[in-house]
Each structure stands twice: as C-alpha cells, then as structure tokens.
Structure 1
C-alpha cells in the first residue's frame, strides 16, 4: 500500500533542525514550508538568527550519518564546499581531567566545517526535495488551534497559514510554551542549568605548510588540579574548518570567567591555561577577522515528552525541545537523530492510520526522549562541578551535587587504558553506540574496583 500524501506541513525555523525535519517528513506531504525570520543567505555566511554561528561546532559521527541518511549526498556536498575530514583519535588532541587522550588511527571520521557551511550544505540538499520551500524574512507570532489540534500558524504581518502538521524548530528562544498556553494547554516542565559559560571566537589564518601536530585541539576546564590557577575555569578549542589554512579558535570560560574580545587579551587568556603545545601553535597564526562573543550558554530542557496534555499535530525539535550548553558539541547531532526518529515514527504511524496524525507527537517524543535525556545528563553532570552553577526547575532553584561527575571522570580514565575499549567509548560519545554498555556490571564493577587508582588519574598532565 502506498502511503497517501498529506497536505501542508509548516516548520517554524529554517536552520539545521528545521531543515532536517523537512527532510524527515517530505515524502509524506505535498508541501513543506519552512518559515524563517531571517533572510537566508545564498552563501555560507553568518546570520543574526544564529548568534552561536561564529563559534566552533562539532558534528558528531552519528549526526553526520543521520544527515547523510536524511539528505543523501550531504557529506559529499560539504566536502566540495571545503569541509575537512579528520580521524577522531589520530588527528585530534584532547586534554581533559584525565590527561591527553590516546592518539591512533580509529576509523571514526569527523566532518569539520563552520556552522554556516554545514547549514548551507543542508539547505542546498533540502531544496532538491519535491514540495520543500523556504519562506525567509517571515516571523511566526503564534499558533492556530481547534478541536484539540494545532491547525496552522499566524505571522507577525497578520497572515494565517493552515497546516496538517506544525513543527517548532525555532531554536533556543522558541516561544512555543507561550503559544501553547494561549491555546489553553499547560506549559512543559522546564529545567535550566547555567554554569555561566562565555565564548570568544575568531577565524585564524595559518602559515603555508604549517604543522602543529594536530588538526584539532580541545582543552576542557579542569577545576581542581588545573595546570594554572587561572585555568580552573577556562577551556578552548581550535581546528581546521574550510580549507587547509582556515581554522577557527574558540576560547571558553565558565563561572563568569569570560574570555575577552581584543586579540592581545584573548591570547593572554588562552596562554593562562598553561599548555605549551597550544602556546606554540598560536604564536605562528594571525587573527585576520573580528572576535565574536556569546554569553547566553544555558542548557534548557522543556519536557515535551512528559507533558500531561498536548495538542495533536504539533511537535518540537532541536533546541526548541532541548538547548544544550554548546561547549559539549551535541546540539546538531541531537537534532539530526531526532529528525531520524521523526521520519521512522511518521512512516510507521501512517501505515497504521493512513492520513490521520493523531498520536504522532506522542510516539515521536517517546522514541527520541531516551537520547535527549542521555545528552542532558551527560553534559550537565560536567557542568554541576562548576562553582556557582545554577539549576532550576520551572524557575525554582534546586540543589546541585558537585560530586556527580566523580564516576564519569573515572570512567573516562578507565576507557583510556585500552585502545579497543577507548574506540567503543568514542563511538558512544559520538552517539554511534548506545550508552547502555557503560552502565553494565562489567564496566561499573571495574571502575569501582579501581576507584582510588583511577581517581589519581583525574588530574591534567
């Protein structure tokens, strides 16, 4: 039986989450309209609606695989535009609380590119899909609903657009809780974790034949046991993006210790971390472009999956559902995996109910919620050890346990002891492998048995 085509779907937001959602549902709708507040550029350049776009972005292996599945040819197109291939272990130097990560050929390939290039490559491929269209320069002001369903959207210019399905992909500043409340529905439970991170980023120009010994370098904030007193709250990353001589540098500071905007002060900030390999590499590069800053790095989870009452024919995806502290690099990948789940659940749903979408949102949330909760827990466990971190539920302050990362720190140290085990661990952090094995008795018992020994490894070296 051929799945019947539905009418129109409206996606609020034309960025990465929205584009992937369009790819996920395009086979089942005659028309998929992405409404984007910004004027979408024809080239891979920054735009106002993506304030984090000037900073480094990590596309995890699972995210890239999902994007290639949703939009075949995405990776090839991105490489044609200048994206770079890296081996996740061989080409990347990582220094964290358990020291330098092992380096060897792992077969786990990164696609390295700037956020604007990734977004443009996805839009290019989505524009090839039948029925998919972008309407840029249009802002959604609210939802239209009737009889327990969302039936369309209203724009700021007074236009009303009907739809069989509405997807909120409007990002970190989504107004969907307010819109749902206006239709008489309760707002989802909202958790916020704020470790007061701040970013400063710029593109670098590197010399010809420059070889710092890596193609990507990432240093985390160490907390206790840091290399220097200043580096306890500081982190950074730099890696190649488009072309061999175009790199990006992002300096990060937590607990309100934010990196500065001027080149001289930014170099001093990074030098204070106390890593000679980094100082040597930066001494040979120039800062030809302006330094961009970003300060709103809160993690926020709206529990749409647990919402006791919701309208049919409306769902959220990407940062509109959960916006990550971007220091952990999970956002784009989570959006891609959510879109994959949406495609799977929509196809299965339509085989059961033909053209009826009642219940789709519930089964989509149920499918994707385990991934969302894993990413939420793994990133915020690390933020909980940052001094002054704030955690609220529906605006009410909650207690934070700074020792909640003790096990994860020792787990990372244990994984680094064996190359085969480390590859499996990297596959898990890249969301290619289910994290369930990390909670199995074999792993947990091994970490517990070597608790003190592994604890001694939880210092930078």
Structure 2
C-alpha cells in the first residue's frame, strides 16, 4: 500500500462493494459514490431493477463473501435470510422429479437489498479506509494527459489514482472514453431470452414435508420455470 493513494468506485451495488473491499487492501482511501439514496432498511432502489426478485448465493460467490467478510452468512440468516442445503431442495423438471443429491455445502437465499445492506455495513465496520457517499451522481470522468484522473460531481473535480466504474452494463462512461480516443472494449453478447418475475406465495403446513424449497419446470414446449423457498 502506497501512502496517500486513493481510489473511487462508482456504484454501491454488489460489484462496487466487493471492488472496494479488494482495493482497501492496496490503497489508503477508497470512496464509493452512489447516485441512489441508500436506506438503512432492506428496501429496493431504482438503480437495481433486479432488486425485488428472489436471490440465491451460488457456491463460489458464497465462499468468497465469507472469506472477505467472516461471519456474513450468520448475519444474513439472523436478519431473515434462509440457509439452504441442496439436499433439502426438490427439483421437478420435464414431468419428473430429479434424484436428490447432496453436494456437501450450504447456500443462502436472501433479498438483494438485504445482501447489499449487510455487505455495506460490514465494509464500513471492518474497513475504516472505505467510505460511501449516497445521492452522489457522477457527471463524468476527469481526463488529463491521456488518462483518467478522477470524476466530476456537480461540476466539482474529485481526483483519485484509480477510478473503477461499477455502474452497470448501461454505463455511459465508455462513450465518454470513446469520444476522447480510447479504444472501445470488445463486446460479445449472448441472448438467452429470459425474463424474471417474483411473487410471495404462502406455504401450507403439508406442502413440502422435510423440504426447504422446490424448483418446478414444465416439460417442453412449455418454457416456464419457477422456484420456491421455505
């Protein structure tokens, strides 16, 4: 860590929070700038359109999160998340049930706002060199001598040794860089034709005995799938 170094992360979503966690090991000061208001409660916000949908942590991401934030899983469960053992899940697809398997690890089902809020609170608690400023919209990048030297907020320059944009796939900063001669990154697209919807359904006392969740999938040509948790 070089003394006096700083970084700015644009966006306080999961990508921005984890980027700040990694950078906090290498620079003196990390500032996260987020245009939305960040409530203390686990509520959705405009910049995360997927925030109202159900989420499940996959194994690799779960291990990384618990490594960066020891005890995070216990905090999530204490706040209302559901710990899931894959052996407790029922998978119905193509008109039949799959044979139950036990991969030997737990996962967690939590809302996106709960996950983000818990990570954000842990980050501020265990990383004093990281700060978060909400309701702070970045107008554009500062470009000097062929490099990015910071960002501009409400016409005011904020300088940093490194700027990381974690503002989503529709970020406008690539266009700004292209206008000044920076080569555009190569983009590959995979069209999966998938849409998501979430609703809360009361669970009956005898619906899934000894099971925490169910994933139903209809047989072709019906392409609708669903998932439920206990």
Equivalent of residue 212 in structure 1, options 208, 211, 214: 208
**Could you tell me which residue of structure 2 aligns to residue 119 of structure 1?**
116
Equivalent of residue 4 in structure 1, options 2, 7, 19: 2
- Note the alpha carbon deviations across 1:18-65, whole angstroms, 9 max, x for none: 111111111222221111110011011111111111112221011011
Q: Distance in 2 between matches of 1:41 and 1:186?
A: 38
**Alpha-carbon offset, residue 6 of structure 1:** 4.6
Q: Distance in 2 between matches of 1:237 and 1:104?
A: 17
SS in 2 for 1:170: coil
What TM-score, normalized by structure 1, do the two folds share? 0.46
**Could you tell me which residue of structure 1 aligns to residue 79 of structure 2?**
81
**Could you tell me which residue of structure 1 aligns to residue 224 of structure 2?**
234
Assess if the C-alpha contact under 8 Å between 1:5 and 1:28 holds in 2. no
Assess if the C-alpha contact under 8 Å between 2:54 and 2:109 holds in 1. no
**Could you tell me which residue of structure 1 aligns to residue 11 of structure 2?**
13
Q: Within 5 A, what are the aligned runs for 1:61-100?
A: 61-88=59-86, 90-96=87-93, 100=97
Equivalent of residue 166 in structure 1, options 155, 163, 168: 163
Assess if the C-alpha contact under 8 Å between 1:6 and 1:28 holds in 2. no
Aligned residue-pair number: 228
**Could you tell me which residue of structure 2 aligns to residue 183 of structure 1?**
180
SS in 1 for 2:20: helix
- Note the alpha carbon deviations across 1:367-395, whole angstroms, 9 max, x for none: xxxxxxxxxxxxxxxxxxxxxxxxxxxxx
- Note the alpha carbon deviations across 1:62-95, whole angstroms, 9 max, x for none: 101101112222212112212121112x111223
**Could you tell me which residue of structure 1 aligns to residue 32 of structure 2?**
34
**Alpha-carbon offset, residue 16 of structure 1:** 0.6
Structure 2 portions without partners, runs of 5+: none
Higher strand share: 2
**Could you tell me which residue of structure 2 aligns to residue 435 of structure 1?**
none
Assess if the C-alpha contact under 8 Å between 2:2 and 2:28 holds in 1. no
Taking only aligned residues, the RMSD between alpha carbons, in angstroms, comes to 2.1
**Alpha-carbon offset, residue 191 of structure 1:** 2.3
Q: Distance in 1 between matches of 2:147 and 2:218?
A: 46
CA 220–205 in structure 1, closer or farther in 2 if over 3 Å, else same: closer
CA 174–98 in structure 1, closer or farther in 2 if over 3 Å, else same: farther
**Could you tell me which residue of structure 2 aligns to residue 386 of structure 1?**
none
Q: Distance in 2 between matches of 1:36 and 1:6?
A: 23
Q: Distance in 2 between matches of 1:98 and 1:146?
A: 61
SS in 1 for 2:184: coil
Q: Within 5 A, what are the aligned runs for 1:306-385?
A: none
Q: Distance in 1 between matches of 2:218 and 2:136?
A: 40
What TM-score, normalized by structure 2, do the two folds share? 0.89
Structure 1 portions without partners, runs of 5+: 241-461
Assess if the C-alpha contact under 8 Å between 1:13 and 1:169 holds in 2. yes
Q: RCO greater where, 1 or 2, for CA within 8 Å and sep 6 or more?
A: 2
CA 86–183 in structure 1, closer or farther in 2 if over 3 Å, else same: same
Q: Distance in 2 between matches of 1:221 and 1:167?
A: 42
Report whether the alignment pairs 1:110 with 2:118: no
**Alpha-carbon offset, residue 162 of structure 1:** 0.4
**Alpha-carbon offset, residue 204 of structure 1:** 2.9
Q: Distance in 2 between matches of 1:180 and 1:46?
A: 31
**Could you tell me which residue of structure 2 aligns to residue 194 of structure 1?**
191
Higher helix share: 1
Assess if the C-alpha contact under 8 Å between 2:9 and 2:166 holds in 1. yes
**Alpha-carbon offset, residue 205 of structure 1:** 3.2
**Alpha-carbon offset, residue 118 of structure 1:** 0.9
